[in-house]
Amino acid sequence: MDRRKFLQSGLVVAGGAMAARKGLAQAASMPLAGAISAEEIAQARFPRDFLWGAATSAYQVEGAWNAEGKGESIWDHWAHTPGRIKDGSTGDIACDQYHRFKEDVELLKRLNLKTYRFSISWPRVLPNGTGPLNLKGIDYYKRVTDALVEAGIRPFCTLYHWDLPQALEDRGGWPNRDLASYYADYAGLLAKHLGDRIAAWAPFNMPWSFLYNGYATGSNPPGRASIDDFLRAVHTLGLAQGLAYRSLKAASSKATVGSAYSYEPAYPKTESVADRDAAWRFHMLNNVFFLHASRHGDYPRAFAGEVPYEAMGFRSGDEKILKVPLDWVGVHYYLRLAISAASRAAQPAAGARNADPMAQFHVEPFNEGQRTDHGFEIWPRGLYDLLMQISRDYDHPIIEITETGGVFADAPGPDGQIHDERRIDFYRQHMAELARALRDGARVRAYHAWSLLDNFEWSDGFSARYGLTWVDFVTLKRTVKDSGLWYGRVAAAGRLGV
Segment 27-33 shows an average pLDDT of 35
Distance CA 226, CA 214 (A): 9
Segment 262-280 shows an average pLDDT of 94
**Is residue 498 in some structural domain?**
no
**Is residue 152 in some structural domain?**
yes
| pLDDT for residue 10 is more than 70 | no
Backbone angles phi, psi at 474, to 5 degrees: -95, -50
Residue 68's contacts (CB-CB under 8 Å, 6 or more residues apart) are: 134, 136, 137, 140
The phi-psi region of residue 242 (left if phi > 0; otherwise alpha if psi is between -120 and 50; otherwise beta) is: alpha
In tens, the pLDDT along 404-443 reads 999 999 999 999 999 999 999 999 999 999 999 999 999 9
In tens, the pLDDT along 190-219 reads 999 999 999 999 999 999 999 999 999 999
Give the number of other Cβ atoms within 10 Å of residue 197's Cβ: 17
| pLDDT for residue 31 is more than 70 | no
CA angle 132, 134, 139 (to 5 degrees): 145
Residue 224's contacts (CB-CB under 8 Å, 6 or more residues apart) are: 173, 214, 215, 218
| Residue 496 · residue 41 · CB < 8 Å | yes
| pLDDT for residue 20 is more than 70 | no
Residue 30's nearest CA partner among 16, 45, 12, 18 is 18
Give just the sign of the alpha carbon dihedral 234, 237, 243, 248: negative
Distance CA 25, CA 46 (A): 32
Distance CA 468, CA 410 (A): 11
Distance CA 288, CA 293 (A): 8
Number of independent structural domains in the chain: 1
Per-residue confidence (pLDDT) for residue 398, from 0 to 100:
98
Residues in the chain: 498
**Is residue 55 in some structural domain?**
yes
| pLDDT for residue 486 is more than 60 | yes
- CATH number of the domain at 440, please: 3.20.20.80
- The DSSP bridge pattern shows strands 115-119 and 154-160 to be parallel
Distance CA 432, CA 426 (A): 10
Residue 127's nearest CA partner among 187, 186, 175 is 186
Distance CA 406, CA 404 (A): 7
In tens, the pLDDT along 282-331 reads 999 999 999 999 999 999 999 999 999 999 999 999 999 999 999 999 99
Amino acid at the residue 5: K
Domain hosting residue 170, numbered range: 3-493
Give 266's pLDDT tier (boundaries 50, 70, 90).
Answer: confident
Residue 193's contacts (CB-CB under 8 Å, 6 or more residues apart) are: 138, 141, 142
| pLDDT for residue 260 is more than 60 | yes
Amino acid at the residue 153: I
**Is residue 291 in some structural domain?**
yes
**Is residue 285 in some structural domain?**
yes
**Is residue 363 in some structural domain?**
yes
**Is residue 362 in some structural domain?**
yes
Orientation angle between helical segments 421-439 and 381-393, nearest 10 degrees: 30
**Is residue 460 in some structural domain?**
yes
How far is the first Cα of the chain from the last one, in angstroms, to the nearest whole number?
A: 29
